[in-house]
Structure 1
Amino acid sequence: MILTKRLMIFTALLMLSFNTFATEPDWSAYADVLKNVSPGAKNNIKLALVDYQTLKENGKLEAAYQQLSSFPVKNLNSKEEKLAFYINAYNILALKTVIDHWPLDSIKDVGSLLSPVWGKPAGSIDGKTVSLDDIENKILRPMGEPRIHFAIVCASVSCPDLRNTPYTASKLNAQLDEQVQKFLTNADKGLRLGNESIQISRIFDWFGKDFKPAGGVEAFIRRYRSDLPELPLKEDINYDWNVNGITAK
Structure 2
Amino acid sequence: MKTLINFTTLIMAALIMQSCNLLSAAGVSSQGQPTKEVKSDLTSTTANSAINVDHSQWDKLLKKHVNNEGLVDYKGFKNDKAKLDDYLKMLSEKNPTDDWSVQELLAYYINLYNAATVELIVENYPLKSIKDIDGAWTKGRVSVGSKELSLGGIENGILRKMNESRIHFAINCASISCPKLLNEAFTAGKINEQLDRVTKEFVNSDKNDISASNPKLSSVFDWYQKDFTVNGKKDVIGYINEYAKTKINAGASLAYKNYNWNLNEQK
Tell me the TM-score normalized by structure 1.
0.80
Match of 2:217 among 200, 207, 214: 200
Q: Is the 8 A contact 1:27 1:67 kept in 2?
A: no
Q: Is the 8 A contact 1:70 1:127 kept in 2?
A: no
Partner of 1:37: 66
Q: Aligned AA for 2:159?
A: L
SS in 1 for 2:254: strand
Aligned residues: 217
SS in 2 for 1:124: strand
Partner of 1:238: 258
CA distance in 1, matches of 2:92, 2:136: 20
Per the TM alignment, residue 195 of structure 1 is displaced from its structure 2 partner at its CA by 8.0
Q: Aligned AA for 2:217?
A: I
Partner of 1:82: 105
SS in 1 for 2:178: coil
More strand by share: 1
- The yes-or-no answer on 1:104 pairing with 2:127 is yes
CA distance in 2, matches of 1:194, 1:20: 42
Partner of 1:71: 94
Q: Aligned AA for 1:38?
A: N
CA distance in 1, matches of 2:196, 2:47: 27
Match of 1:56 among 75, 78, 83: 78
Show the 5 A alignment for 1:71-220: 71-74=94-97, 76-111=99-134, 116-187=135-206, 189=207, 191-194=208-211, 196-212=213-229, 213=232, 215-220=234-239
Are the structure 2 counterparts of residues 102 and 76 from structure 1 closer, same or farther at C-alpha, using a change threshold of 3 Å? farther
SS in 1 for 2:94: coil
Match of 2:55 among 23, 27, 34: 27
Per the TM alignment, residue 226 of structure 1 is displaced from its structure 2 partner at its CA by 5.4
Tell me the TM-score normalized by structure 2.
0.75
Are the structure 2 counterparts of residues 202 and 61 from structure 1 closer, same or farther at C-alpha, using a change threshold of 3 Å? same
RMSD: 2.2
Partner of 1:4: none
Per the TM alignment, residue 102 of structure 1 is displaced from its structure 2 partner at its CA by 0.9
Q: Aligned AA for 1:207?
A: Y
SS in 1 for 2:190: helix
Gaps of 5+ in 1: 1-17, 40-46
Per the TM alignment, residue 81 of structure 1 is displaced from its structure 2 partner at its CA by 1.4
CA distance in 2, matches of 1:194, 1:166: 32
CA distance in 1, matches of 2:59, 2:233: 31
RCO comparison, higher one (Cα < 8 Å, 6+): 2
CA distance in 1, matches of 2:218, 2:196: 17
- Per mean C-alpha deviation after superposition, the further-off stretch among 178-187 and 67-76 is 67-76
Partner of 1:10: none
